[in-house]
Structures are given as C-alpha cells and as structure tokens.
C-alpha cells in the first residue's frame, strides 16, 4: 500500500525563480534543464483559445505550451513557434476556453462513487413522491443488474439486499417535512432501506427495525429509546415520533440519534470503499476538477482508503486530506485534548505526502448548520411550528466551553497543524475567531514570518452587527472556506430559518472580497452536487434554486473573481499556489478545456457549464475527455 510520506510538495517541482524569456516580448517561458543556451521543445501546444490564466501578471493568452507535466509557456502561437518541432502536437481549439483545473476545497468523495455504483442520489427530489420514485427506479435497476444483494447485516452476520439513498433534505421538498418509514415501506416492505439526509440525519423503513429485533406490535421487543429519548442525547438529537402512538416514525436526526439504527446498516468492505473512491474521483474529473480537499478523515480510516487507491498511477485527481481529529477516540465527537495529542504524535509531520496525495491540516467543528437550525447563533432562529427544538432556538455549540476549545486547538497548534473549523452560525464563528486570535498571536510572537493559512469553513454569518469577524479575518489572514452552492440549493430553507435581513448577509462574497479576505470554494458534497459551476453561478447571481429569489444582490461578484476561489485560492489554502492553481510557466499542467466562451457566458450557460467540459488534464495527462470529442492536430472537432 502506498504510504503518505514525509516529502513536502512545496519543495518539489518548483518553478525557476527567473524564467528564461528567450528574447520574445510578451512570452512567458519556463527555463528547462537545458537553460537559456539550449532550445526547449514543447510536447503539446494549444492555440486559438481563450485562456483564462487567473495570473494577475498575464490574465489572458491565446496559446499554451506543455512539456512533461509542466506548463512550458503562455502567450501567443507566434511567440511559441521556436518551441515547436516535428514532434510537437499542435491543436487549434477554435476559440474554446482553457482554465486552470478546479481546486475543490471541501468534499467527502467516498459517497460519490458509492452513489454511482450502489446507492441512489436523492438530491434532485423536490417532493416526497420524487424520493419514492427515485428509490423505486434504483431498486429495479439494482435488481435487474444483480447488484442489490450480498450485503452483510451487522446484527446477524447474514447477507441480503439493501437499498441506500443519499442527499435528501426536507428543505428541498415542497412538503417541507421529513420522509418517514411508512413512505419508504411503500417503496419496499421486504428490502431494507436507509436514506441519509444531507446533514446528520437518516430515515429507515420498517424492515431495518426488524433487523434490530424490533417489532412495532410487540412492546416486549422495544428498547428503552423507543418511547423515551436516551439520557446521553445532546442538543439537536431528535427521534421523530408518530404523534398518535409516540413511537419512532423512522427519522433520526443529530449527532447521536442516528446511531440507534445505523448499527443495523451494512458497511462497504475496504475493497468497495477503494472502488467507490476511484469512481468518485473519475466523476470529479469529468466536471473539470483536478484537486480536492477531503474534509475530515476520522481516525485515519479515510486516509487508508486513499493510500490504497493512490497505488495506481492513473488516479485523475490530486487529494489533500484534513485529519478529522474532533471525532478521534471520543464517541461524543468532541476530542479530549490528550487524545488529540496522542493522535498527532501518531500522525507525525503535519505536511506529509507528495504532489498527488498528502495529509495537511486538521478539521474541527464548532456547531451545526443553518438548514438544520443547529448552527450556534446570537439571535434565535425564526420560530416555525414544526421546530422540534422549540421556541428561542439558538442552535448549539459543539463545545460551548471556550477554555476547553482553546485547549483542544492549542494541541493542534503545538504540533504545527493548521486548523480548519466548521462554523456556520455567527456565535460559533465568533468563538472560533477568538480562539484563533489567541493562538495566532502566540505563534506570531515567536515567529513573525509564520505562514498561517487557517480557515473557517462554511462561515455563513460572519458579519452580524454584534459578532462580526470580518475585520479580524482580514487582519489575521484567515481564509473563508466557503460553499457557495449552499446558497443556491438551500437558500429558501435558510430564509425560512433566519429571515430576509440575515439572508442578505449570508456568505457575503463582496464583503470578503473588499476586505481582502481570500475565499476558497468547495461543494461540500454530499450536502450539495459536486458541480463547481453551480457554486460559481451562486456567487455571480445569489439566486435560490426553488424560488428564484435573490437576497443580498450587493454581495454578488464577477465571474472571474468567483473562478479564482475555485482555482488559485484553493491552491493557496493548501500551500500549493506555487505549483498549481493558475496557468503559469513552471506550474503543473492541470487544466480544463471548455466548449464555451466562459467569461462571456450567460447565467444560464454558467449554471450548465459542466456539460461544456471537453477535456480535463492533470500534469499534462488527459484524465477526462468528453465522449464524442477528439483532439485533432489539424483542429478540434
């Protein structure tokens, strides 16, 4: 198995500090090992293209030359003629666009391949009937393909069928309520069904209860939690119950409640997890993605899967893994400081790995989410009749004890790890920034030149009147690791929970930009589609999917700025901006060819831009080519 090593990619493949310009004005050229006295040769040249470099020194070009896994030159075809010999492949792109490869900075890839092979994506559902139909269609397909059975039931050791659903939320359904077990029973009463909600929730059918040894009609089989919540439940843990009987209706929400039924759900084998990861990465390459941040490997289990997958030299996407320390060694998910220290001692270097795969950074969590009404906010969520948390709901901190949180993060800082913290509500964002300030001040006193690229993840409400962190984030260089697609997909549920005034300040793109705060964008799949173009659309329009409403029009930004958050800023977040993220000589040839004029695309064209991805390249190697499209040296068909 490939092991994540100790080599720091920031020291590998570094571009020369002084490019060889070969006497041609306007041409930016990489100095190869032959030096200026020799004549470098391009292996491949693209021309007649609209090249968006996201390099401020040369933002646009029409030709790009590659040699090996690197960009050799950026300029015009005329400027590159001396780089071309009889072996150089030259492609006329007919005005198509080239952009840097997309850096996806927050994703959980493992579910994407699993969804493709074994499960059903419920994200497109907009009614409960849609959920049922998607499940029925997938059930029929898996039965037809002979892929429904063979799952080992943890409760009995026997094998049998299982139907998995992923990616639904009641907020995207017109009914605005949870799917329940009775509705899953209408899909199948005989096949166990589990459907994971996008954030800390699951619904199961009656067959799953039976696998747990529970018969709804036999009270002697009912565990204690069947009629009363367990004493170890924390804020946000809910067993949804039938109002007539008080018995569970199949929906479990929160950090601990879903575990009551998840013990019955079969898990993928290690080999299936590796297969799912590789398949998921292939899907991402088809969207133009060349690098991802896997946002949290609990106790290294995800890391082991990545290491096995990356034994192949054909993996299409570079990966950086955040260690999910806050779930380490503690079923409550908080992470005792001593356990954190022990975990970090085992991991060793906080920058281990290479240019394809490495661990870099620690993922923490401060609260829940806006859609689930569990984010820690300073002003309560708007009351709604069906809120199981009741009136005056301020959400919940993962750990409200400031000193304890400081002690946790101190362990990470002492071991040299940068910290990336999930914080959605303004109170949680304020707590996180206040902890960061104390630790960063301490580090910078000892090393004024320390390069601290810490981030706050999601950072939905950073600029509320009494809790704003914008000034502090700018001062300390804290990165806003945002998920703009959430605004598109979940904006309508957010408005219902926080109202139009706060919604106008939700993920304030323009405020961040004007303050000089770097934004690095990711999808947060499986909470949203992994399609990066949806995120860019949200940044340009701030339009909600279902209602079409726009909140905070003054927070819209230009497409080029949005693109930077998905390219060079993502590379900056992971200390890779010197080797990738923009189209510059000496950098890795990670790029995307689009069958579109990107910067002049309409809003509708931008939203559908994934269909225009023709070619994705990783280090000069084609990792995706759209079916039916062939690069031809005499042109492109």
Range in 165-169, 220-224, 454-458, 540-544 the model is least confident about: 165-169
Looking at residues 331-350, what average pLDDT do you find?
72
In this model, does residue 7 exceed pLDDT 70? no
Q: Quickly state the pLDDT bin for 300 (edges 50, 70, 90).
A: low
For residue 171, the model assigns a pLDDT of 82
Question: In this predicted model, what pLDDT tens digit does every residue of 477-509 receive, in sequence order?
Answer: 999 999 999 999 999 989 999 999 999 999 999
Instruction: Name the nearest CA neighbour of 423 among 414, 435, 415, 413.
Output: 435
The 8 Å CB, 24+ separation contacts for 378-382 are: 378/425, 378/426, 378/427, 378/430, 378/464, 378/466, 378/467, 379/464, 379/502, 381/497, 381/498, 382/496, 382/497, 382/498, 382/499
Work out the angle at residue 404's Cα, subtended by the Cα atoms of residues 398 and 407, and round it to the nearest 5 degrees.
120
The structure tokens listed for 176 are: 């605005």
Task: State mean pLDDT over 383-405.
Answer: 83
Cis preceding linkage at 526, omega within 30: yes
Select the more confidently predicted residue: 398 or 94: 94
Other CB atoms within 10 A of residue 241 CB: 16
Mean pLDDT confidence for 619-636:
84
Q: 95-104, 110-119, 261-270, 627-636: which has the minimum mean pLDDT?
A: 627-636
DSSP 3: P
Which residue has tokens 């799949």?
Answer: 525
- Residue 513, pLDDT above cutoff 50: yes
Contacts of 538 (CB under 8 A, 6+ apart): 484, 485, 486, 487, 488
User: Is the predicted pLDDT of residue 3 greater than 70, yes or no?
Assistant: no
* CB distance 239 to 248 below 8 Å: yes
Contacts of 107 (CB under 8 A, 6+ apart): 284, 292, 293, 294, 295, 522, 523, 524, 525, 530
For residue 8, what pLDDT band results from cuts at 50, 70 and 90? very low
168 with 526: CB under 8 angstroms? no
Calculated CA dihedral for residues 303, 305, 310, 315, nearest 10 degrees: -110
pLDDT at 602 over 50: yes
| CB neighbour class for 549 (10 Å; exposed up to 12, middle 13-18, buried from 19) | middle
pLDDT at 410: 94
Burial 372-407 (b: 16+ CB within 10 A, else e): bbbbbbbbebeeeeeeebeeebbbbbbbeeeeebbe
What is the C-alpha to C-alpha distance for residues 14 and 22, in angstroms, rounded to an integer?
A: 20
Q: How confident is the model at residue 101 (pLDDT cuts 50, 70, 90)?
A: very high
- What domains lie within the chain, and their CATH numbers? 9-100+620-636 (2.30.40.10), 119-262 (3.10.310.70), 338-579 (3.20.20.140)
Give the pLDDT mean for 206-226: 97
pLDDT given at position 392: 87
Check residue 262 and report its DSSP letter: H
CA distance 414 to 613: 43
User: Do 88 and 42 touch, CB atoms closer than 8 A?
Assistant: yes
Is the model's pLDDT at 420 over the cut of 90?
A: yes
The answer on pLDDT for 526 being more than 70 is yes
Q: Give the list of residues 6+ apart from residue 139 with CB closer than 8 angstroms, or none.
A: 148, 163, 187, 188, 191
Contacts by 24-29 with C-beta closer than 8 Å and gap 24+?
24/75, 24/79, 24/82, 26/75, 26/76, 26/79, 27/73, 27/74, 27/75, 27/76, 27/79, 27/80, 28/57, 28/58, 28/73, 28/74, 28/75, 28/584, 28/585, 29/72, 29/73, 29/75, 29/83, 29/585
Average pLDDT, the chain: 89
Residue 492 structure tokens: 């309508």
Confidence bin at 297 (pLDDT 50/70/90): low
> What percent of the chain is modeled with pLDDT above 70?
90
User: Could you report the per-residue pLDDT of 162-213, keeping only the tens digit for each?
Assistant: 999 998 988 888 898 999 999 999 999 999 999 999 878 999 999 999 999 9
Highest mean pLDDT among 6-10, 31-35, 190-194, 327-331: 190-194
What confidence score (pLDDT) does residue 164 get? 97
Task: Kindly tell me if the per-residue pLDDT of 324 is higher than 90.
Answer: no
Question: What are the tens digits of pLDDT across the range 537-559?
Answer: 999 999 999 899 999 999 999 99
Position 325 scores a pLDDT of: 62
Q: Rounded CA gap, 589 and 318, in Å? A: 12
What is the arithmetic mean of pLDDT over 95-105?
98
Q: In terms of pLDDT, which residue wins out, 37 or 370?
A: 370
387 pLDDT band (50/70/90 cuts)?
low
- In this prediction, residue 17 carries a pLDDT of 31
- The residues pairing with 238 across neighbouring beta strands, listed in sequence order, are 253
Please report where in the chains the tokens 């804290």 appear, as a residue: 478
Report the predicted TM-score, pTM, of the whole model to 2 decimal places: 0.89
For the chain, how long is the longest CA-to-CA vector? 87
User: Per-residue confidence at 376, pLDDT binned at 50, 70, 90?
Assistant: very high
pLDDT of residue 389: 64
């Amino acid at each position: 198995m490939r092991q994540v090593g100790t080599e720091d990619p920031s020291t590998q493949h570094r571009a020369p500090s002084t490019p060889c310009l070969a006497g041609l004005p306007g041409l930016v050229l990489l100095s190869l090992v032959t030096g200026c006295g020799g004549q470098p040769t391009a292996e491949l040249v693209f021309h007649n293209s609209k090249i968006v470099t996201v390099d401020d020194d040369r933002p646009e070009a029409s030709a790009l030359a590659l040699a090996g896994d690197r960009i050799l030159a950026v300029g015009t075809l005329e400027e590159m003629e001396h780089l071309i010999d009889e072996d150089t492949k030259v492609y006329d792109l007919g005005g198509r666009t080239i952009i840097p490869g997309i850096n996806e900075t927050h994703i959980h890839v493992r579910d994407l391949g699993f969804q493709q092979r074994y499960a059903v994506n419920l994200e497109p559902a907009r009614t409960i009937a849609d959920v049922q139909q998607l499940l029925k269609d997938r059930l029929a397909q898996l039965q037809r393909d002979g892929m429904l059975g063979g799952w080992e039931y943890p409760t009995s050791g026997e094998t049998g069928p299982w139907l998995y659903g992923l990616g639904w939320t009641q907020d995207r359904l017109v009914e605005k309520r949870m799917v329940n077990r009775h509705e899953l029973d209408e899909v199948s009463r005989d096949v166990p069904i589990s459907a994971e909600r996008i954030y800390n929730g699951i619904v199961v059918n009656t067959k799953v209860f039976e696998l747990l040894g529970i018969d709804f009609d036999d009270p002697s089989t009912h565990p204690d939690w069947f009629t009363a919540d367990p004493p170890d439940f924390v804020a946000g843990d809910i067993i949804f119950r039938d109002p007539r009987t008080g018995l569970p209706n199949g929906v479990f929400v929160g950090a601990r409640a879903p575990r009551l039924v998840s013990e019955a759900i079969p898990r993928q084998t290690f080999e299936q997890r590796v297969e799912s990861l590789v398949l998921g990465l292939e899907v991402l390459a088809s969207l133009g993605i060349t690098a991802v941040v896997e946002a949290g490997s609990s106790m290294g289990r995800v890391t082991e899967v990545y290491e096995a997958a990356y034994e192949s030299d054909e993996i299409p996407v570079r990966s950086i893994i955040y260690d999910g320390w806050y779930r380490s060694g503690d079923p409550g998910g908080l992470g005792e400081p001593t356990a954190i220290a022990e975990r970090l001692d085992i991991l060793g270097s906080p920058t281990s790995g290479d240019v394809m795969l490495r661990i870099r950074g620690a993922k923490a969590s401060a609260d829940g989410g806006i859609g689930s009404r569990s984010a820690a906010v300073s002003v309560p969520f708007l009351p709604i009749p069906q809120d199981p948390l009741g009136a005056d709901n301020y959400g919940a901190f993962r750990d409200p004890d400031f000193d304890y949180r400081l002690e946790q993060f101190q362990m990470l800082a002492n071991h040299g790890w940068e910290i990336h913290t999930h914080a959605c509500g303004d109170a949680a964002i304020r707590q996180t920034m206040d902890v960061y300030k104390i630790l960063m001040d301490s580090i910078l006193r000892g090393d004024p030149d320390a390069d601290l690229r810490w981030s706050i993840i999601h950072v939905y409400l950073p600029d509320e009147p009494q809790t704003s962190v914008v000034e502090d984030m700018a001062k300390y260089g804290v990165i806003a690791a945002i998920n703009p697609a959430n605004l598109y997909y979940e904006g309508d549920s957010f408005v219902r929970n926080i109202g139009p005034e706060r919604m106008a300040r939700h993920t304030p793109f323009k405020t961040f930009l004007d303050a000089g705060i770097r934004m690095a964008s990711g999808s947060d799949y499986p909470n949203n589609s992994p399609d990066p173009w949806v995120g860019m659309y949200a940044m340009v329009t701030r339009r909600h999917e279902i209602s079409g409403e726009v909140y905070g029009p003054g927070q819209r930004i230009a497409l080029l700025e949005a693109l930077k958050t998905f390219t060079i800023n993502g590379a900056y977040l992971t200390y890779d901006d010197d080797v990738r993220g923009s189209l510059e000589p000496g950098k890795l040839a990670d790029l995307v060819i689009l069958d579109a004029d990107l910067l002049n695309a309409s809003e509708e064209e931008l939203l559908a831009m994934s269909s225009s991805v023709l070619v994705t390249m990783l280090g000069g190697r084609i990792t995706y080519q759209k079916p039916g499209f062939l690069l031809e040296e005499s042109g492109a068909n």
